[in-house]
């Protein structure tokens, strides 16, 4: 990769990648949806505040800014935390109201869900919300109306698609990099980073891929995207992933528990390395540079 400026993205030989945190608590993840009822959430031990404090320190020490895709449910309960995150220069974006997956909602309920979340996020921070990430990357071939609703509500970008096959999510036919899902609309979709190994794609922008596999595998995947594909990577993680002391409900399925709890203790150190080894920024910055790239491919 050459140094200099290409589409405003490459500076000193390092491309600007999107750093994102999906702000939800340990009991709100898809893996526990069948064992923890939404109506019981209020009585559970919330740990999101202390975990976000640690993330803010980690980002500050590395001198990076990122995007916090936050549930409306969380923002309503922790307005001071939201103001601290926004005040530190990070972007506040939407992760929907209470982590209901888009394909479970239908068009009307989805429109109501994201409008409700956005109102709270904007009210508590006083800043405009222009980005959205679907819970569990749940915009896929089943939800052709989802991007239309986002465009109607004036969102600038979405980062809600995983162009892979996975047991919980995925839209295999979607492009790997930023595209315009709606003809005639400015909205862009910036999928989570994938890696191609032996002609197979896997989600490589965070989650279990980052936490369960050696750090070098993620470093390789991001380098491939930046250098071979000449595109920004989109990385995500969750506050509960840096929290080895979170409650552990024994009733969850074994596979979910293995995936959820492995390597929580080494996560902070891995993240600290990642944020220093690459160049990172807010998703709205990445969206702006990707939107300026011409031509962006059209719908999947």
Residues forming contacts to Zn ion in the complex (CB under 5 A) are 22, 24, 135
- In angstroms, the CA 180 to CA 174 distance is 11
Closest CA relative to residue 217, chosen from 204, 231, 226, 235: 204
At its nearest, how many Å lie between Zn ion and the CB of residue 115? 19
At its nearest, how many Å lie between Zn ion and the CB of residue 237? 10
Nearer to Zn ion, 135 or 181 (CB): 135
Nearer to Zn ion, 257 or 273 (CB): 257
Nearer to Zn ion, 169 or 289 (CB): 169
Residue nearest to Zn ion (CB): 22
At its nearest, how many Å lie between Zn ion and the CB of residue 169? 11
Count the neighbouring beta carbons within 10 Å of the beta carbon of residue 217.
Answer: 15
At its nearest, how many Å lie between Zn ion and the CB of residue 22? 4
Nearer to Zn ion, 16 or 117 (CB): 117
Kindly state the tokens that stand for 260. Answer: 């959820």
At its nearest, how many Å lie between Zn ion and the CB of residue 69? 7
Closest CA relative to residue 85, chosen from 40, 117, 39, 53: 53
Nearer to Zn ion, 22 or 113 (CB): 22
Residue 191's contacts (CB-CB under 8 Å, 6 or more residues apart) are 159, 161, 162, 163, 174, 175, 176, 177, 178, 179, 234
Compute CA distances 147 → 117, 194, 216, 278, whole Å: 17, 21, 34, 30
Beta bridge partners of 188: 157
């Amino acid at each position: 990769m050459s140094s200099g400026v290409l589409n405003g993205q490459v500076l000193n030989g390092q491309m600007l990648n999107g750093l994102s945190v999906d702000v939800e608590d340990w009991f709100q993840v898809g893996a526990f949806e069948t064992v923890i009822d939404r109506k019981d959430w209020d009585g559970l031990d919330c740990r999101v505040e202390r975990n976000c404090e640690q993330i803010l320190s980690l980002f500050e020490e590395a001198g990076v800014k990122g995007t916090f895709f936050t549930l409306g449910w969380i923002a309503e309960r922790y307005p001071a935390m939201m103001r601290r995150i926004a005040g530190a220069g990070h972007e506040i974006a939407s992760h929907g109201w209470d982590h209901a997956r888009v394909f479970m909602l239908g068009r009307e309920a989805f429109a109501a869900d994201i409008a409700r979340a956005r109102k709270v996020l904007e009210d508590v921070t006083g800043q405009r919300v222009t980005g959205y990430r679907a819970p569990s990357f749940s915009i896929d071939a089943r939800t052709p109306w989802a991007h239309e609703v986002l465009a109607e509500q004036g969102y600038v970008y979405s980062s809600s698609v995983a162009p892979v096959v996975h047991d919980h999510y995925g839209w295999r036919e979607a492009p790997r990099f930023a595209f315009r899902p709606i003809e005639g609309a400015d909205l862009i979709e910036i999928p989570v980073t994938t890696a191609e190994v032996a002609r197979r794609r896997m989600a490589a922008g965070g989650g279990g891929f980052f936490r369960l596999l050696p750090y070098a595998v993620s470093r390789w995947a991001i380098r491939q995207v930046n250098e071979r594909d000449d595109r920004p990577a989109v990385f995500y993680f969750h506050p509960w992933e840096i929290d080895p002391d979170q409650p552990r409900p024994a009733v969850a399925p074994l596979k979910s528990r293995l995936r959820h709890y492995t390597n929580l203790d080494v996560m902070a150190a891995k993240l600290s390395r990642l944020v220093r080894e690459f160049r990172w920024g807010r998703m709205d910055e990445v969206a702006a540079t990707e939107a300026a790239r011409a031509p962006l491919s059209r719908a999947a």
